[in-house]
Structure 1
Amino acid sequence: MSISPTERAVSRPTGPSTSRRTVGLHPTRWAPSVILVVALIAVWESYVRLAGVSPRILPAPSRVAAQGWAARDVIAGHAASTLQVTLLGFALALVVSWIIATAVDFSPKLRRAVVPLLVVSQTLPIVALAPLMIIWFGFGILPKLLVVALVTFFSMTVGLIEGFASADRESDRLLRSMGASRRQQFRYVRLPSAVPRFFTSLRIGITYAVVGAVFSEYVGATSGLGIYMSQQKNAFRTDLVLAAVVVTALCSIALFLSTYVVERIVAPWAVQEAS
């Protein structure tokens, strides 16, 4: 059966999903946060200088910036390793999330069986599982990918499941009355309806992915921001530890913002610019 342009129009989500306002990339939305961060840095710098705190305990932001810039090549190499683990682990979680959510949407019985297990998976302490991953899979990249995937897949899976379930029932009935198959209903109604929630959960997941990658490197790695911070901590280089923390935060922010770019390309109908 072919779907006409009219039916395609029916499949386009309506209501809150298409009229929602996103924080997005507009600079004015980030201005208050930037001002607050600058103020906190100024207070931090002033306190360290006036109180004469040892750099080993609390270095001034200016020292963190200077020492971080001096070690920029080393930090950049470790950051590249962390980003590789982050993106590969997140891609693995993304594939698993789509497979599980799609299977659950096609089988209500499977939904009742899988959703409780998804919740249980989030009660497992990653701090205990990560060392076991090293024991089971060695010191290669695989255990780190699995840690990142475990940290991130839950939010995306639940977001997709709830997005599929939020599809407009009237549109579903209309397509069924026209003889559309279950697969066609999924493609033209349920899938577009899930996109806004999916991108919301994607933003949550990609932020956790960087944290998961850094933590996995703490457990066992030869390169990455996690192992770099551990080494500098043991050397009492608090300034370089904080420099690596700043780089980690910048990576998380960059990946978070990139999801808005992807959303505008993949689903422009789901985005409405704030007036």
Structure 2
Amino acid sequence: MKSLLSKSWRPLLVLLLLFILWETAVIILDIPNWLLPAPNEIFLEATVNGDDLLVHLISTLKLTLTGFSIGTCIGLITAIFLYLLPKVKEAVYPLLILSQNIPTIVLAPLLVIWFGFGLLPKIIVISLVCFFPVTVAALDGFKQTPAELKHYLAMAGANKQQLFWKLEFPYALPAIFSGIKISATYSVMGAVISEWLGAKEGIGVYMTLASSSFRTDRVFVAIFTIMILSLLLFAIIQGLERITVRWHHQGEDMK
């Protein structure tokens, strides 16, 4: 943990330098606000209209957490099912890979036609974005269990079910959390895309209204809000990982 905190100032310093260069370039080149607003203008807009932004943020956060939770659970259950049934995995896994080649922005209108403009198509979009990274990461994690440990438990009399839940699943937790962290970052963007399907509130709606009215500063406010929300979710998942898989990080903390 100390190592993590000691290194956190480096990306913050780089980010600060980028903002300074951005601000300086806008002033020197006299770039109009509607084309590229300066960072201080973006911060001012976020402060002045913070109440309105908060309403949209809460709506997106609720949608994100709902879709992320459902997608993560489906992804984990799918991975367990496919791992325990290798023949089913051989038949289904290539189809899962093919399903990820369909752009979400193309699939979204079809979901509206099939399920209407309610909450269901939005949840489906986010779940589709989230479940695949968890499924792939979990399947890879299950395969990484050392053969000697599996042989030792088998010699001790463990059956296939005990072998999975007492050894393979715990050993795969670091990989599973890696997939969950990827899904957490994707879920926010999935929520924003789903809000373009006809939502009344949300960061996606806020961004659309700002873009149509040429309020570039508000578009950047929406972009930074999405980035911050993604980083927060990533940090929360990473904190849960360090608590849950404490043994995996003991070596990292000693470095």
TM-score (norm 1): 0.88
8 Å Cα contact 1:24/1:257 also seen in 2 = no
Could you tell me which amino acid in structure 2 is paired with residue 241 of structure 1? V
Specify which structure has the higher proportion of helix: 2
- Partner-residue secondary structure (3-state), 2:102: coil
- 2:108 corresponds, among 110, 130, 140, to 130
Please report how far the alpha carbon of residue 31 of structure 1 lies from its aligned counterpart in structure 2 after TM superposition.
2.1
The alpha-carbon distance between structure 1 residues 199 and 25, as it changes in their structure 2 partners (threshold 3 A), is farther
Tell me the distance in 2 between the aligned counterparts of 1:25 and 1:164: 29
Select the residue among 211, 214, 229 that pairs with 1:233: 211
Structure 2 residue aligned with 1:252, among 230, 249, 253?
230
Q: Which has the higher contact order (CA 8 A, sep 6+)?
A: 1
CA distance in 1, matches of 2:96, 2:254: 35
Q: Secondary structure at the match of 2:45?
A: helix
1:25 Cα deviation after fit:
8.2
The code of the aligned residue for 1:42 comes to I
Supply the distance in 2 between the matched residues of 1:191 and 1:24 (Cα, whole angstroms). Answer: 29
- The CA RMSD measured in Å over matched residues stands at 1.6
Q: Structure 1: which 5+ residue stretches go unaligned?
A: 1-22
Residue 157 of structure 1 pairs with residue 135 of structure 2:
yes
Q: Over residues 144-170 of structure 1, what are the superposed CA-to-partner deviations in whole Å (9 max), with x where a residue is unaligned?
A: 111111112111101101111111222
Mapped partners of 1:118, 1:24: distance in 2: 40
Q: What's the counterpart of residue 53 of structure 2?
A: 75
1:182-261 to 2 correspondences below 5 Å = 182-261=160-239
Distance 1:186 1:138 in 2: 41
* Separation in 2, partners of 1:103, 1:173: 22
Alpha-carbon distance between aligned partners in 2 of 1:68 and 1:254, rounded to the nearest angstrom? 18
SS of structure 1 residue aligned to 2:238: helix
Q: Which residue of 2 aligns with 1:262?
A: 240
The 3-state SS of whatever aligns with 1:271 is helix
Counterpart-to-counterpart distance in 2, 1:28 and 1:152 = 31
Q: Point out 4+ residue stretches in structure 1 off by more than 3 angstroms.
A: none
Contact 2:125 2:190 in 1 (8 A): yes
Alpha carbons of 1:105 and 1:245: their partners in 2 closer, same or farther (altered >3 Å)? same
Per-residue deviation, 1:254: 0.4
Q: 1:266 Cα deviation (Å)? A: 1.7
Paired residues, number: 253
Per the alignment, residue 8 of structure 1 pairs with none
1:45-56 equivalences under 5 Å are: 45-56=23-34
Q: Within the alignment, does 1:105 sit opposite 2:113 as a pair?
A: no
User: Which whole-Å deviations, capped at 9, do the CAs of 1:169-204 have from their partners, x for residues lacking one?
Assistant: 222222222221211001111011110111111111
Q: TM-score, normalised by structure 2?
A: 0.95
Q: Counterparts of 1:270 and 1:93 in 2: how far apart (Å)?
A: 25
